[in-house]
Amino acid sequence: MSSIALSLLDLEVEENQCFEAEDYQTRVGKWCAGCGDFGALNAVKRLLAKEQLQPEKMAFVSGIGCSSRFPHYVNAYGFHGIHGRALPIATGLKLARPELDVFVVMGDGDCTSIGAGHWIHATRYNANMTVLLLDNNIYGLTKNQTSPTTPMGHKSNTSPRGAVLPALDPLQATLGISNASFVAQTADWVPAHLYATLQAAYEHPGFSFVRVLQRCPKFTPDVFLANVKDPDLTELLVHENGVDVPGLHQLYKSRRVHDPKDLDEARALAQRKDMLRLGIFFRDDNIPVYEEVRARTPVSAEEKVRRLNKEFDRYGV
């Protein structure tokens, strides 16, 4: 049976209706107690309410994984796609309907393994969409298999003696892709930072890649535990063009002013493993988006039909 599912709106929209955050949720998320996906959903709902986005003018696209249930819980158009393919689906949607706000939700197995090729090219295409990588360092839905971001030594069903390879770093990888325009990292256990980062990602005109460190109490309960317990192990990247939440200053004493325009420093910071860093690593709002690049050479419907017929004629008897 195909796993592709298209969800339509449950909400009847009235003219000039004012939406509260709860208006954007269709049902209670079916995630384990304590799962970080709940925090991500809450932050997204707050963003949608802040922006007063019309449910019929946005779409959530996902692949396969625990976090990919997202479209079922948001009152918007939704496309629960197939494993690793959320980004090409979302890119096609954005090209066909550029006026829609498009959000993509993927897990680490989904994006950085089977979907890795799409991740590279979608970043390079720079279509205008907000992309959440909910990274819990494990395949959760299929019950505990090592993913590319699983820390070396972590035991799982597929690596009972511990993962043997160094973990892939999604920040370093994305910052190395030509034409990357927005790369950020945040964490589900710092909700104010998560919300502010999503806000900045939404405002960015281009492909906004946000890695959300996401707790999975079921299969990777320890991987972020030290950082959750001790804020001194985390450094916030702050800048007027980045994210700075004054309410976090008391708890997070370690802060670094980082201009997100500086790609070399962004790459250097992503490479360093002395501390966990949250914030916008890189941002360039002037890189052309793919839907506009494509629109520069418009082709009429008649011309498309003529070209298609010509192509078919090549194979005619």
Q: Residues interacting with ligand SF4, by CB under 6 A?
A: 31-32, 35, 37, 66, 136, 140, 216-219
Contacts (Cβ under 8 Å, ≥6 apart) of 185: 171, 210, 211, 212, 213, 277, 278, 279, 281
Kindly tell me which of 167 and 180 has the beta carbon lying closer to ligand SF4.
Answer: 167
Q: How far apart are CA 167 and CA 220, in angstroms?
A: 14
Kindly tell me which of 136 and 227 has the beta carbon lying closer to ligand SF4.
Answer: 136
CB of 230 to ligand SF4, least distance (A): 22
CB of 100 to ligand SF4, least distance (A): 28
Closest CA to 38 of 184, 164, 217: 217
CB of 136 to ligand SF4, least distance (A): 5
Q: Is 35 left (phi over 0), alpha (psi -120 to 50) or beta?
A: beta
CB 150 within 8 A of CB 107: no
The β-bridge relationship of strands 58-62 and 77-80 is parallel
Kindly tell me which of 32 and 114 has the beta carbon lying closer to ligand SF4.
Answer: 32
CB of 143 to ligand SF4, least distance (A): 8
Kindly tell me which of 218 and 267 has the beta carbon lying closer to ligand SF4.
Answer: 218
User: How are strands ordered across the β-sheet holding 207-213?
Assistant: 5-7, 77-80, 58-62, 101-107, 129-135, 207-213, 182-187, 276-283, 234-238, 255-257
Kindly tell me which of 13 and 114 has the beta carbon lying closer to ligand SF4.
Answer: 114
CB of 106 to ligand SF4, least distance (A): 13
Kindly tell me which of 214 and 234 has the beta carbon lying closer to ligand SF4.
Answer: 214
Residue position matching structure tokens 């009847």: 12
CB of 211 to ligand SF4, least distance (A): 15
Kindly tell me which of 30 and 97 has the beta carbon lying closer to ligand SF4.
Answer: 30
CB of 134 to ligand SF4, least distance (A): 8
